[in-house]
């Protein structure tokens, strides 16, 4: 469940701050927050200056052919995201057996890795729109050009972000009150992230946004799910539990996942098979 600023106000308003009713109160607040947002969106869609304003929702009839096309894209993407969450849980269960120092170090390293990838992910999300518009206009060469160009932009962003976070990891561990062993492990992992991520991360994620925009979602789902389970999860568990490599085993598995996906996506980008789909007919 996501926490929204309005939730706290509703909890206070209805006197649900006590532990016994906090969970029920937060769920109620979340429900009313989403309900309010729904009505705001419905109201905004009625504005006449919109390209396609919506006035009477009761006259709208579903177009099942278009819905099936949307689901053909949405369901594989949903499965991919769901499997990713299951994989995170499996990895977390392995880390939880390594002791408090390893858990704290892994948690902080994971947070830093997420932060240094946010801007590049934003570039990838923008790539989906650009590729979608290019293919919608039947300009396949333009779509290929933008996948390559924005991959280069993402590479520059990743290098800068990784260096910035590497510089900040020392004060973060110090002011975060981490114990010496946890700080040492965290800095060690972030050092390797800073080295490997600029090399392997971009091609394992950014081209996939373009592939999805082109309708090549089943391929990206299959590659990401298999790579995650065999590299990120299975390899990490073998290295951690079989070879006693500690939390660094998780990152070796992740580096392997990035590398495998990057190689496969690079081949897919070069052979142009991802363009042999039709999202809109």
What are the DSSP calls for 251-274, one per residue? HHHHHHHHHHHHHHHHHHHHHTGG
**Which of 191, 274, 240, 206 lies closest to 91, judged by CA?**
240
Q: What is the pTM of this model?
A: 0.77
Residue 25: predicted pLDDT = 57
Residue 24: predicted pLDDT = 59
Give tens-digit pLDDT for 108-152. 999 999 999 999 999 999 999 999 999 988 899 999 999 999 999
**Which of 96, 116, 95, 88 lies closest to 191, judged by CA?**
116
The DSSP 8-state label assigned to residue 243 in this structure reads S
Residue 143: predicted pLDDT = 94
Positions of the chain with pLDDT under 50: 1-3, 8-14, 16-17, 19
Residue 30: predicted pLDDT = 80
Q: 94 is written with which tokens? A: 């392995």
Residue 19: predicted pLDDT = 46
The residue ranges of DSSP E strands in the chain, in sequence order, are: none
Identify whether the C-beta of residue 200 lies closer than 8 Å to the C-beta of residue 119. Answer: no
Hey, how many other C-beta atoms are within 10 angstroms of the C-beta on 201?
25
Q: How far apart are CA 146 and CA 185, in angstroms?
A: 39
């Amino acid at each position: 469940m996501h926490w929204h600023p309005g939730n706290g106000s509703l909890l206070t308003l209805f006197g649900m701050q006590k532990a016994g009713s906090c969970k029920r109160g937060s769920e109620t607040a979340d429900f009313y927050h989403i309900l309010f947002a729904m009505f705001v969106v419905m109201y905004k869609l009625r504005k006449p200056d919109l390209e396609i304003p919506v006035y009477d929702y009761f006259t709208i009839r579903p177009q099942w052919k278009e819905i099936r096309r949307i689901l053909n894209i949405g369901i594989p993407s949903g499965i991919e995201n769901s499997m990713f969450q299951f994989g995170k849980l499996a990895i977390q269960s392995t880390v939880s057996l390594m002791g408090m120092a390893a858990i704290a170090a892994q948690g902080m390293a994971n947070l830093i890795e997420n932060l240094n990838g946010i801007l590049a992910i934003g570039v990838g999300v923008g790539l989906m729109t650009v590729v979608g518009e290019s293919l919608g206009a039947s300009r396949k060469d333009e779509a290929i050009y933008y996948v390559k160009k924005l991959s280069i932009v993402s590479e520059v962003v990743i290098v800068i972000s990784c260096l910035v976070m590497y510089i900040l990891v020392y004060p973060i561990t110090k002011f975060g009150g981490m114990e010496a062993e946890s700080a040492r492990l965290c800095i060690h992992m972030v050092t390797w992230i800073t080295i490997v991520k600029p090399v392997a991360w971009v091609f394992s994620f950014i081209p996939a946004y373009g592939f999805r925009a082109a309708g090549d979602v089943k391929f990206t789902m299959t590659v990401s799910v298999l790579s995650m389970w065999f590299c990120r999860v299975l390899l990490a568990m073998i290295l951690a539990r079989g070879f006693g490599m500690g939390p660094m085993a998780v990152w070796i598995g992740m580096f392997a996942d990035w590398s495998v996906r990057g190689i496969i996506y690079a081949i897919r980008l070069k052979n142009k098979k991802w363009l042999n789909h039709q999202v809109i007919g």
